[in-house]
Amino acid sequence: MKNDDVKYRMKEINGVIVGKSNGKGEGLFAARPFEAGEIILSYDNWKLKGKKHFPDGDEHVDYQGRGKYVSSNHPYSYTNHSCDPNSYIKFRTIASGTVFAQRDIKEGEEITYDYAFIDMDGFGLNTERNFKILSCHFSF
């Protein structure tokens, strides 16, 4: 476990906290209420070419296509999928974006978004492919 990962589990970071998620391992939770449309958090991940740059066993490395990988230990990387999400993401780049509350979120509620409807068309992935992956391989 990385020191930064421990830091995020131990304290609230800007209104969110990483904690145990029912049946999903860990998740991101609201440490305070958020109103619909409010910014929950913004993030910038590390983007590198080739997986050789990342340590073995890094749970938060995603292949983004075209030989590019994204790694993050930011609390955002603990956001789980839901078919009825309470947040959505506006991407600035393949490795950075802002998470908004889709509806009012109560303190203690897990913050989720719908992986299948991430707009990644400009980055080599599309929503139809995402939906097929989630429904066929992960039973979402």
Tokens 């393949």 sit on residue = 94
Top-confidence range, 88-92, 94-98, 105-109, 123-127: 105-109
Answer whether 18's CB lies under 8 Å from 8's CB.
yes
Can you list the domains of the chain with their CATH numbers? 3-137 (2.170.270.10)
Answer whether 63's CB lies under 8 Å from 42's CB.
no
Tokens 């490395």 sit on residue = 61
pLDDT at residue 47 greater than cutoff 80: no
Q: Give the per-residue pLDDT at 53.
A: 46
Q: List the end-to-end C-alpha distance of the chain, in Å, as a whole number.
A: 28
The model's pLDDT over 95-121, given as tens digits with 9 standing for 90+, comes to: 678 899 999 999 999 999 887 655 544
Question: Residue 46 burial by CB count (10 A; 0-12/13-18/19+): exposed, middle or buried?
Answer: middle
Q: Is 3 helix (H, G, I), strand (E, B) or coil?
A: helix
Share of the chain above pLDDT 70, in %: 51
